[in-house]
Amino acid sequence: MDGWTGFIYCGSRSARVPGVSNTHRQQQVVSCRFARSIPLFSSQLPVAVTKSGGGAMSARLPRKRFYRARAHSNPLSDSHFPVPICPSDVDFSSHYPHFFPGPGPAHAHDGPRPMVRFADVGCGFGGLLVGLSPLFPDTLMIGMELRDKVTEYVKDRIQGLRATNPGQYNNISVVRTNSMKYIPNYFQKAQLSKMFFLFPDPHFKEKNHRRRVISVQLLDEYAYVMEVGGIIYTVTDVEELGEWMKSCLEKHPLFEAVGEEEINTDPVVKLLTSATEEGQKVARNGGQTFMAIYRRVASKED
């Protein structure tokens, strides 16, 4: 695209910015912590295109082999990416331009603004988001991923899907962040109606259990951003981790188990394993999955 010639360096990553020549990019180094004006997700990023046999241009979806990523990332380490001070600082208009009247964070506009309602924590390659999007076309949902290359892949995947399916997939997006640290920075109290924790890193060693994304302590934060009646979905192919997550949810006073009858009629449940890349791999290998689904209940303060 015209004008996209320079780069801003953010840790080990780079992002193209207009009007900066490659010969001067060393003088244009900007730390991520100062790049607050850069949208977390740009609807203007170019999508790869190819020419079909008839001469028409069509979008090309990204390929995973070009996005080399680690299987896991340490959630306790310091990472270099922009973090909003509070939910009103997040510019969700850049994530969902179809749903917003204009750019800018929430405090820059009068009147109600669309709210993200679903959060896929550790979204991986975005399979669940892609599966949920047509089921809830008017519901904004976001994936939260710590690994930079995986986040980049999901961004490009969503852009490609939007380009090849006009009018669809406008309600999904992704952000690179550490959900174990910054969930309250993105969502207001009682904002979310669904949270997903699918095939998280098991952190087998006992000394690393504090790195697990589900714990009684972290459930306090998840309960804060979930509305009363909201549903939290967890699934894993590691039995010990499945028991751990279920035990944490059972111990927490603000969550109660969802009944089998309701689970069987929930259209989301079948996507937990069939739509995600990790779930598909488990199915191919004949593995077993362990699911725990709980509802946010009211407290005295609610």
User: Residue 178 annotated as binding?
Assistant: yes
Q: In angstroms, how far is CA 247 from the centroid of its own chain? A: 25
145's enclosing H/E stretch is: strand 140-145
C-beta separation of 253 from 219 below 8 A: no
Q: In sequence order, which residues have a C-beta less than 8 Å from that of residue 84 and are 6 or more positions away?
A: 90, 185, 186
User: What interhelical angle do 179-186 and 216-225 show, nearest 10?
Assistant: 20
Angle at Cα 295 formed by Cα 291 and Cα 301, nearest 5°?
145
Q: Is 132 annotated as a binding residue?
A: no
Q: Is 208 annotated as a binding residue?
A: no
227: annotated binding-site residue?
no
Is 138 strand, coil or helix? coil
Among 288, 278, 186, 182, residue whose Cα is nearest residue 240? 288
The two three-digit tokens of residue 58, written as one number? 């069509």
> CB atoms < 10 A from the CB of 173, how many?
23
The answer on whether 301 is annotated among ligand-binding residues is: no
Is residue 145 annotated as involved in ligand binding? Answer: yes
Rounded CA-CA distance 284/287 in Å is 8
Q: To 10 degrees, the CA torsion angle through 189, 118, 41, 29? A: 50
Q: Is 66 exposed, middle or buried (0-12, 13-18, 19+ CB in 10 A)?
A: exposed
Catalytic one of 120, 156, 201, 237: 201
**What is the rounded distance in angstroms from the CA atom of residue 190 to the CA atom of residue 222?**
9
Residue 201 is among the residues annotated as catalytic for this protein: yes
Residues 6+ apart with CB under 8 A from 260: none
Find out whether 198 is annotated in a ligand binding site.
yes
Binding residues are 122, 145-146, 178-179, 198, 276-278
Catalytic machinery residues: 201
Binding residues for S-adenosyl-L-methionine are 122, 145-146, 178-179, 198, 276-278
